[in-house]
Amino acid sequence: MPVGPGTWPAWWTTNTPWPDMGEIDIIEGIGGNTWNTITLHTRDGCHMRDKDAIYFTGTWAKGDNGAVNATNCYINAPSNFYFEIMTIRESKKSRNWGKNLETLEESEN
């Protein structure tokens, strides 16, 4: 997976009309980040619940300038911060890319 300034490797699923029919970002690496960002984008009315965190090993990204978990899927929600709409950041133990992935692979051998 490419990593570094100016890269944006991603695997997204979308449908039309966007965003009403939703978008799921399955793999998304932004710039030099070494973690995967999983994101849902939808129309108004879609929310995840904080308690849904039991279903994944990462953490909720922070919305609203870092004050609350980004659990609102609405693309134009006022609490969205840097386009982090209902975002899960995979844990450092997950398979990511860049130096983080290389470090995981070396430590497992």
Instruction: Tell me, yes or no, whether 58 lies in a domain.
Output: yes
Look at residue 14 in the predicted model and tell me its pLDDT.
92
> Is 106 annotated as catalytic?
no
Q: How many domains would you assign to the chain?
A: 1
pTM beyond cutoff 0.85 = no
Query: In 3D, which of 39, 41, 50 has the Cα closest to residue 74?
Result: 41
| Domain membership flag for residue 71 | yes
Assigned domain for 97 exists: yes
- Confirm whether 1 is domain-assigned: no
Residue with tokens 């890319």: 97
Percent of the chain with pLDDT over 90: 4
Is residue 3 one of the residues assigned to a domain?
no
| Alpha carbon distance 74, 41 (integer Å) | 6
Flag whether 39 is in a domain.
yes
The string of pLDDT tens digits covering residues 81-98 is: 555 555 666 655 555 555
Active site residue 23: yes
Give per-residue pLDDT as tens, 4-45: 777 778 888 999 998 888 888 888 876 666 677 778 888 888
Provide the domain limits for residue 89.
10-108
